[in-house]
Structure 1
Amino acid sequence: MGDVAMVVPVLRALTAQHKHVRVTVVSRIFFKPFFNDIPRVNFFAAEPKGRHKGFLGLLKLYKELKVLHFTGVADLHNVIRSKVITKLFELKGKRVATVNKAREQRAALVRPENKVFEPLTPVIQRYADVFAALNLPIDLTAISFPEKEELSPDILANTGDKESNNWIGIAPFAKHRSKIYPTALMQQVITTLATNPNNKLFLFGAGRSEIQKLRRFSGNNDNVIVIAGKMNLKQELQLISNLDVMLSMDSGNAHIAAMYGVNVVTLWGATHPYAGFAPFNQPQENQLVADREKYPKLPTSVYGDKKVAGYEDAMLTIKPQKVVNTVNKYLK
């Protein structure tokens, strides 16, 4: 989800800076709401687990896309499926370009010995470079973010009116445990922020297990609202666009908030912003990382999917008060 959300600012800049360009985004239907308000951007729903499954399914997808008469193809995924589609278009004489995932540099960044601890090119810039290769250069410093979306009555029924409140989003989960801030410390952060009556906290997650954990986080605080399970994606996007700040792990919610120009504070455990996945247009001081003096092998992986003995508690070195102080910078 984060990879797709990072495409959004690039397409905003592309369509704003190249008025003649029309774009078709090919992705899972779940992500369609990400692109709803970008001018001259259409969406084509791919079904990799349905009618586009397997090699024959990819051929079917290519045939369905071919009739749209593209002049160029930008592969922003660089996996086997996207490579097949891109190659088929290239064989038909279309201009194609593929994102460079810098796999060797990433491997050097996360290896335990002889680590090359240097920042890599941000992923969002790598996306922009793909369009530059198609003779569509993009200036990511000149991007305009959308206006805050108007909240519908069904959303306001859960959130209440904003009035003079600070609206804080908190997304305390990630796909891998090594990227999740310890429960006790996150509870301290939420409880501390909730003591300010001018703050209203919205907790994001998905699935029964996460909802139960979010309810425990909220406790008896009237100004801490569990959003998970109450809204669909489109509604959540509307709410996120109205936040003053989003506190997130290294996960998709950080990139969703960033694509709306919302202030984002991120917490990093086994992963690190140097891999290129820091949320777009956010200051470096908002990326709170675990202590590398105590845990010198960090980052231990690009995506947080590798377990390293002795590094399970690395995020304990990110102190709750530092998290609260960083969030407080954006509150009235």
Structure 2
Amino acid sequence: MKVLVIRFSSIGDIVLTTPVMRCLKQQRPDITVHYLTKKSFRGLIDTNPYVDKVHLLNDENWEAMIAELQAEKFDLIVDLHKNLRTLRVKRALRKVKSVSFSKLNFEKWLLTSFLKINKMPPVHIVDRLVDTVRHLGVVNDGKGLDYFIPEKDEVNAADLPMSHQAGYIGVVIGAALATKKMPVEKLKALCASIQKPIVLMGGPEDRPEGEEIASIDRVKIYNACGKFNLNESACLVRNAKLIVTHDTGLMHIAAAFKKPVISIWGNTVPAFGMTPYFGNAAVPSAIFEVEGLGCRPCSKIGYKKCPKGHFKCMNNQNVTAIATAAEKGLHL
């Protein structure tokens, strides 16, 4: 049986699909798993031993992509993205049976609208993703998420300053949208309060803010933002003692490595079912959010700036409590 799994983006969402491939391959050895994603996210799938072949979304030459997929003669499409593009793919492969992941968009609308009615099921998104293939006799194995770092992207301790080679706390300062991350002044206050070596993590776009934060104490704080590719950053996450992060892809990568995680939530909420997922493993973690705000959650994804202007969901975060939790290693 040949199965095509579809998830185009993004980093965290793709990592959250990894239990589906693992459970398919381990529980149904007769199944060959193919994965369709965007070219920019190929590195997340290429090294996954539970994926037999990767296909890339090609909007510029749609016909060629569809011809490639048709030639594979799939028996089943597992749509874990469910948008207009995946609908086009399924229509083009109309003879192939398909199953789709329920995104619960109506329930999310109820929660993010002015109504603020929470009808989200108390079930993690990973469990809902795996349920998509339950009809194949596949169940969640409870092993959590997967992330595989190729040997060429391994980061050695010598690649970090001497002050950080014995251990560090990773602080992820970036996020896809501004309303999912704390303002730089709050991040500076947080890092100033943590009296342990810190590695700042993020992309090239986060490097200027990283420099501003690191200027507090360049011995204690190392700005790794933009210096490492995604797999190398994942290696930094794996080697950290603990990760402090916003609702980001690196949060899910940290969970894949069973790292203690302190997650900080702004306009999004844990009720969406996308908290750090450890499966059956007992990994210490803590969630920090500003409760009691009538405007929160304002979006299931985020905005470039706070719609209300006050940004209380991040400006009112208890930096002292977050730093204390990090200092104590979540009371490990």
Residue identity in the other structure for 2:32: R
**1:27 CA displacement:** 0.9
Aligned to 2:169: 168
TM superposition shift of 1:302: 0.8
The equivalent of 1:141 in structure 2 is 142
Instruction: Indicate yes or no: 2:48 matched with 1:44.
Output: no
In structure 2, the residue matched to 1:191 is: 192
1:315 aligns with 2:322: no
Q: What per-residue deviation string (whole Å, max 9, x for no partner) do you get for residues 209-233 of structure 1?
A: x211101111233232221222222
Q: Unmatched 5+ residue regions in structure 2?
A: 1-10
Q: Do the aligned residues in 2 keep the contact of 1:189 with 1:323 (CA within 8 Å)?
A: yes
Which position in structure 1 is the counterpart of 2:209? 213
Other structure's SS at 2:277 match: coil
Does 2:227 correspond to 1:230? yes
Which residue of structure 1 aligns with residue 179 of structure 2? 178
1:58 has 2:62 as partner = yes
| Residues 136 and 226 of structure 1: CA distance in aligned 2, closer, same or farther (over 3 Å) | farther
Which secondary structure does the structure 2 equivalent of 1:231 belong to? coil
Q: Is the 8 A contact 1:10 1:127 kept in 2?
A: yes
CA distance in 1, matches of 2:44, 2:256: 9
CA contact (8 A) 1:179 1:270 kept: yes
- The structural deviation recorded for 1:318 is 1.9
CA contact (8 A) 1:145 1:261 kept: no
Greater shift, 79-88 or 18-27, is seen at: 18-27
Give deviations 1:84-129, integer Å, cap 9, x for gaps: 112332x22x231111111111111111235236555432222212
1:41-99, Cα deviation, whole Å (9 max, x unpaired): 13424244xxx33xxx333212112222322111111011111112332x22x231111
Q: What CA distance in whole angstroms lies between the structure 1 residues aligned with 2:308 and 2:190?
A: 27
Q: What secondary structure, in the 3-state scheme, does the structure 2 residue paired with 1:169 have?
A: strand
> Which of 226, 232, 239 is the matching residue for 2:236?
239
Distance 1:63 1:153, change over 3 A: closer
Where do 1:1-332 residues align within 5 Å?
A: 1-48=11-58, 52-53=59-60, 57-89=61-93, 91-92=94-95, 94-113=96-115, 115-116=117-118, 118-133=120-135, 135-143=136-144, 155-159=156-160, 165-193=166-194, 195-196=195-196, 200-208=197-205, 210-219=206-215, 220-281=217-278, 286-292=286-292, 295-305=293-303, 307-309=306-308, 311-327=310-326, 328-330=328-330
Contact kept, 8 Å, 2:163 with 2:219, in 1: the verdict is no
Consecutive unaligned residues of structure 1, counting only runs of 5 or more, are none
Three-state SS of the structure 1 residue aligned to 2:168 is strand
- 100-109 or 14-23, larger mean C-alpha shift: 14-23
**Cα 1:20/1:150, change in 2 over 3 Å:** same
RMSD: 3.0
- What's the % identity of the aligned pairs? 18
Change (3 A) 1:37 1:175: closer
What is the deviation of 1:330?
A: 4.8
TM-superposition CA deviations, 1:23-55 (whole Å, max 9, x none): 11111233233234432413424244xxx33xx
CA drift of 1:307 comes to: 4.1
Q: How many residues align?
A: 316
**Distance in 2, Cα, partners of 1:114 & 1:147:** 38
Residues 151/217 of structure 1: CA separation in 2 closer, same or farther (3 Å cut): farther
- For residues 150 and 330 of structure 1, the distance between their equivalents in structure 2, rounded to whole angstroms, comes to 31
Question: Secondary structure of 2:175's match?
Answer: coil
